[in-house]
Structure 1
Amino acid sequence: MDELRERIAYLQGLAEGLKLEEGKDEARILSQVIDILADLADELEDLQVALEDLEDYVDSFDDEFFEDDEDIDDEDDEIEDDDFCCCEEDDIDYVEVECPQCHDIICFESDIVDDEDIIEVTCPNCNKVVFVNDGSMPLPEGYQKRDDEESRDD
């Protein structure tokens, strides 16, 4: 920043050394350009100070959250993937389908199978379509399509 201010001062000295008449247009334009450069240097310095303050502020948040994140990571390491299944909810029936591409198990609500609208279920990892309820794909293993009477009772 100091170098920029020195260069602006140098320009001011050069302009004064030209000994342009103060009333002429060239002198006024050159004077205004140099004043604008000085104002820009002031604004740039203010922005630089504000940026440094903001960086300090963000770093303080980052440090706080990073400490919390380490605690969470430690807890996650203790939980095995096999111990958790999204299909174990009490109130909602889920259907499990294995993705043919990445072999992840995808869980979705069983109501999707019988829904009147055509719904595609895609794998969140590889975006492969794993089930479409339009009859073009076989029903998931262990699932039987509801009869019309059962659907009306629900």
Structure 2
Amino acid sequence: MEQLETRVAYLRGLAEGMDVKGSEGRILEEMIRVMDQMAKRMRELEERVDDQEAYLEALDEDLTDVEATYTAKRRTRRPRTRWPSNVRTARRRSSSTTTC
């Protein structure tokens, strides 16, 4: 981006050295002003993109930490006790008959 700003400054110096008068000079000056504004705006946008990239990298690192914590907890969790099918059936029958 600095190269673009340097080139615009170079063009500004050339235009001043040419000493162009009249409408051509005004057009040339305005074109250089527009290019200068565009270069500044592009620099600002580049800085914002850099900030967004840093933010996304931080989010990615946080997400990696959360995933690692979740995965570690899943590995250390006790497995669920599975009742044999005959016990499950008996438990269902006993709970349905004990209603008041």
- Residues 78-130 of structure 1: CA deviation (Å, up to 9, x unaligned): 8xxxxxxxxxxxxxxxxxxxxxxxxxxxxxxxxxxxxxxxxxxxxxxxxxxxx
Structure with greater proportional helix content = 2
Gaps of 5+ in 1: 79-154
Structure 1 counterpart of 2:17: 17
Offset at residue 36 of structure 1 (A) = 0.5
Structure with greater proportional strand content = 1
Write the distance in 2 (CA, Å) between the matches of 1:2 and 1:58.
Answer: 25
Taking every aligned residue pair, what percent have the same amino acid on both sides?
29
Write the distance in 1 (CA, Å) between the matches of 2:26 and 2:9.
Answer: 17
Aligned match for 1:70, one of 65, 68, 71: 68
Mapping for residues 118-133 of structure 1, pairs under 5 Å: none
In structure 2, give the amino acid aligned to 1:6: T
Q: CA RMSD in A?
A: 2.0
Structure 2 counterpart of 1:49: 47
Write the distance in 2 (CA, Å) between the matches of 1:34 and 1:20.
Answer: 13
Greater relative contact order (CA < 8 Å, ≥ 6 in sequence): 2
In structure 2, give the amino acid aligned to 1:13: G
Write the distance in 2 (CA, Å) between the matches of 1:73 and 1:34.
Answer: 58
Aligned residues: 77
Structure 1 counterpart of 2:6: 6
Structure 2 counterpart of 1:140: none
In structure 1, give the amino acid aligned to 2:19: K
Write the distance in 2 (CA, Å) between the matches of 1:76 and 1:26.
Answer: 74
Offset at residue 75 of structure 1 (A) = 5.4
Offset at residue 74 of structure 1 (A) = 4.4
Q: Which runs of 4+ in 1 moved over 6 A?
A: none
Offset at residue 73 of structure 1 (A) = 3.8
Offset at residue 69 of structure 1 (A) = 1.4
SS at match of 2:20: coil
